[in-house]
């Protein structure tokens, strides 16, 4: 198993314990003014099974969310709308889902 530790303080994403085939277990996303967002990456991989559900929005690259926002290629709140939309869809289907409110994800 090939593991590496990446820390990108200003780039918007912090990933630790990356497994070559599975990606990081947990990452921290740049959440803008509301604060960072802890993201259980491995849990989403296991649950969704299709990386393109999220990665069609942004490539698998550290700091990509902040980079795309700075380039004007990712609209403000696009990631949040994507995540919350998926969580709400699951809840409507009566399935277990992640949070749908700002404070449940963002922390300053």
pLDDT tens per residue across span 41-53: 999 999 888 999 9
Residue 4, strand partner residues: 18
Nearest residue to 46 via CA among 71, 64, 69, 21: 21
Tell me what percent of the residues of the chain surpass a pLDDT of 90.
Answer: 35
Q: Report the CATH number at residue 64.
A: 3.90.10.10
Structure confidence at residue 82 (pLDDT): 92
Residue 53 CA from chain centroid, whole number: 11
100: CB partners within 8 A, 6+ apart: 84, 87, 88, 91
User: Is the pLDDT assigned to residue 36 strictly greater than 60?
Assistant: yes
Q: Of the ranges 1-10, 26-35, 74-83, which one carries the lowest mean pLDDT score?
A: 1-10
Q: Which residues pair with 106 in a beta bridge?
A: 37
Residue 14: which domain range?
3-107
Number of domains present in the structure of the chain: 1
E strand or H helix that includes residue 42: helix 41-48
């Amino acid at each position: 198993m090939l593991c590496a530790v990446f820390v990108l303080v200003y780039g918007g994403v912090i990933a630790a314990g990356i497994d070559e085939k599975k990606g990081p277990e947990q990452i921290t996303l740049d959440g803008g003014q509301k604060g960072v967002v802890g993201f259980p990456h491995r849990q989403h991989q296991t649950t969704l099974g299709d990386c393109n559900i999220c990665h069609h929005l942004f490539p698998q690259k550290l700091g990509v969310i902040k980079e795309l926002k700075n380039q004007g290629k990712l609209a403000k709140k696009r990631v949040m709308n994507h995540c919350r939309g998926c969580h709400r869809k699951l809840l409507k289907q009566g399935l277990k889902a992640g949070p749908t409110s700002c404070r449940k994800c963002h922390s300053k």
